[in-house]
């Protein structure tokens, strides 16, 4: 009987000692409000296009919610215009190719302070993209 009582006391003590450790694991890590992080600056975008992987240098300029800038790839430099509201980026470009011009829309958001991710929509369908901030 004494062994059983001692075992019960040990079990209760272990649960009291370990409870704070397990409780700390249940709390989610605090998340940063990315809606206030600026997107101004240079970014390296990558995507898998119809002709294979592409790297695109992106320059974004933010004025209030208005976004302007350029995309620069092996296809040349193209101006962009759009908006950045509550952490969500939307912009479009008009690309003049050999077969005429086409509209391409980009949508994305910050996944952390230095990474954007989203998809583009155009005549070739929807294609996911990601961009990493260039550290200057």
Q: Where are the domains of the chain?
A: 34-133
Residue ranges in 2-136 assigned as alpha helix (H): 2-26
**Residue 58: band (very low, low, confident or very high) from pLDDT cuts 50, 70, 90:** very high
**Predicted local confidence at residue 99, as pLDDT:** 78
**Interacting residues of 110 by C-beta distance below 8 A, sequence separation 6+:** 34, 37, 39, 87, 89, 116
Q: Which two tokens stand for residue 29?
A: 């890590």
* 57-82 mean pLDDT: 95
**Interacting residues of 95 by C-beta distance below 8 A, sequence separation 6+:** 75, 78, 101, 102, 103, 104
Question: To the nearest whole number, what is the mean pLDDT of the chain?
Answer: 82
**Predicted local confidence at residue 31, as pLDDT:** 64
**Length reported for the chain:** 136
- Residue 73, H or E segment: strand 66-73
CATH 1.10.10.10, domain 34-133, yes or no:
no
CA torsion sign for 100, 71, 52, 130 is negative
Residue 60 in this model has a pLDDT that exceeds 60 = yes
* 72-76 mean pLDDT: 87
Note the pLDDT tens digit of each residue in 10-35: 343 444 444 555 555 555 555 677 76
How would you classify residue 64: left for phi > 0, otherwise alpha for psi between -120 and 50, otherwise beta?
left
CA gap 133, 90 in Å, rounded: 17
> What pTM value is reported for the model?
0.74
Q: Which two tokens stand for residue 39?
A: 């997107």
* 61-74 mean pLDDT: 95
Note the pLDDT tens digit of each residue in 76-88: 899 999 999 988 9
Residue 69 in this model has a pLDDT that exceeds 90 = yes
């Amino acid at each position: 009987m004494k062994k059983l009582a001692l075992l019960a006391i040990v079990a209760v003590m272990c649960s009291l000692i370990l409870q704070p450790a397990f409780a700390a694991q249940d709390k989610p890590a605090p998340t940063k409000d990315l809606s206030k992080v600026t997107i101004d600056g240079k970014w390296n975008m990558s995507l898998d296009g119809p002709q294979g992987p592409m790297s695109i240098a992106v320059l974004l300029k933010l004025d209030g919610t208005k976004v302007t800038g350029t995309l620069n790839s092996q296809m040349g430099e193209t101006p962009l215009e759009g908006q950045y509201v509550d952490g969500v980026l939307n912009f479009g470009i008009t690309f003049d190719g050999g077969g005429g011009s086409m509209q391409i829309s980009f949508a994305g958001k910050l996944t952390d302070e230095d990474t954007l991710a989203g998809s583009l929509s155009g005549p070739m369908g929807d294609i996911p993209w990601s961009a990493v901030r260039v550290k200057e």
